[in-house]
Structure 1
């Protein structure tokens, strides 16, 4: 996968644009020549060579494009969340630190899922469940009391302690780090799990008053 991906990027961002530039230059020179040298004896040989070059180059570009068409679809998912720089024609441009930092705090689960270069790993962490009211569940996470709407939680018959579940992505091939891909993603939050035995626990009034609604990032976990 890695070698094929590198060849695809080389072709798409260097080889193909270079050949298109050469073909354009040849056409710009050749077309006027058709007018001024068409009576020359050697004109037909020049025309033949030029046509063969244009046809051969076009076939090469088309063949290369079809060869890398499928893997090139991954490029649309490349952004500052997964890579340290973006490719431009004949060069690359590093993302700025603010861009990288912002991307690392965005809920980019679909990006890591769709790009197809990462393995997904479930992450679980025990949290303290403080109870509920009509609108929210309440948790204590590393000393921080938080409220979350009910759709973030689920009652689980198979656990004894409350926990939060997330997913984290790791490169399937470490070689991709050599071309700027980030080895491991942030942890993307999926759901809070509440034991069935605590389903009816009502939150204390003091907690209900002082708890803060969870932000986009909770103890390094990214919230959708």
Structure 2
């Protein structure tokens, strides 16, 4: 059984994410800092909270730095968790984790914000967590911001809201989804299984 950790920003209920990971065979611990020995095969940054408080919780509550702690361990960022991969966000003033070049911007004023609901995925290129996911599959989104990578090379899937919104990004050991896999039925289950497969390698 693969052992993974969910980082808890203290912002809300992460039970459904923990439950979904356990259903696909993971042993899951919830952690609030990186001060203990890293005994995990993967880390999940969940999609609940706001940018600045979440970034502060990572930086202020841990003596060990994020990049030092994770090394080459696979990291799955969900919604806010994915947005934290980037350099900065219009949601706050804190610096992001800066593991992917780019920024986070608010959805256009022409859209109802937050955007909530099911949208289909347009798969742009093969991705490790997209394996066995069919083009056009539906996923559940709840968000007010979107990522804007400086290179399209990291985008493996998009959704079309009248504008193209990056839905899945992958770079090195970092995997991000703008939607919530734990709320996305069978498609989300496949992606979580794919992430755990990467964690086992």
Shorter-chain TM-score range: under 0.3
The structure whose residues are more often strand, as a share, is 2
Q: Which has the larger radius of gyration?
A: 1
Give the TM-score, by structure 1 length: 0.23
